[in-house]
Structure 1
């Protein structure tokens, strides 16, 4: 299966859960099964959270008397907690993404196991 990497705009669409065109199927499989699949997953979660964190920052700085350091600390903590709880379901969320792109359920776990990679986190 040939691997075509999506451009930045298509990748952003992919981050937010939209389906990529058929030509990127190989890349989606690679993304969900590569040695770095958990790191890739965590990066997608961080990118997905950025607009929400920026909006929360603007609201908190504008409408509350909280010190800037406390606002930043709260947002970092919320990102950490969101990342932690999402990572606990990384394998299932990767399977959902693969199914959305036409692969049978269980493909990601099977391919990772064949290559001796972790199927779940931690």
Structure 2
């Protein structure tokens, strides 16, 4: 069994700052790389996007003096539009985060591709194809 080296996580305030586009201390650089390349990286990216959109959505729901149905429709439409843009620029945003953490440009994409290739090789391995019980 492989053991993972201990990667320190940011505090909740550091994570909030990171989610809003701020940098993290240098000792958290390995965490940034793991956050942007590990399994679930796209889901975490979208979570950060929702956190960025939240203040505007709350203002739209609370401050705008129109009926609630209009505010909800505007907030939902704004959320969809924001997430659409976030998805469209996901890889660029991720690479920018990784570069801010001190890694060369393209590091996140390269690591994700290497992991995907390893997974493809693993799926095609003979012991996977033939099953565990076929040791003729």
Residue 18 (structure 1) shift: 1.2
For structure 2, which runs of at least 5 residues remain unmatched after alignment?
118-136
Pairing partner for 1:10 from 14, 19, 27: 14
Q: How does 1:56-67 map to 2 (within 5 A)?
A: 56-60=60-64, 63=65, 66-67=66-67
Residue 2 (structure 1) shift: 4.3
How big is the alpha-carbon RMSD for the aligned residues of Structure 1 and Structure 2? 1.4
Aligned twin of 1:110: 110
Aligned twin of 1:95: 95
Secondary structure at 2:63 match in 1:
helix
* TM-score between both structures, scaled by the size of structure 2: 0.78
Q: How does 1:54-93 map to 2 (within 5 A)?
A: 54-60=58-64, 63=65, 66-93=66-93
- Asked which structure has the greater CA Rg, the reply is 2
Is the 2:61–2:68 contact (alpha carbons within 8 Å) kept by the matching residues of 1? no
Aligned twin of 1:120: none
Instruction: Give the Cα separation in 2 of the matches to 1:52 and 1:23.
Output: 32
TM-superposition CA deviations, 1:59-103 (whole Å, max 9, x none):
21xx3xx32122112201110111011111100110001001100
Pairing partner for 1:39 from 35, 39, 43: 43
TM-superposition CA deviations, 1:17-48 (whole Å, max 9, x none):
11101111111001110110100000000011
Is the 1:5–1:27 contact (alpha carbons within 8 Å) kept by the matching residues of 2? yes
Q: Which runs of 4+ in 1 moved over 6 A?
A: none
Is the 1:32–1:108 contact (alpha carbons within 8 Å) kept by the matching residues of 2? yes
Residue 57 (structure 1) shift: 1.7
- 51 and 9 in structure 1: CA distance in 2 versus 1, 3 angstrom threshold: same
Q: Give the aligned length.
A: 113
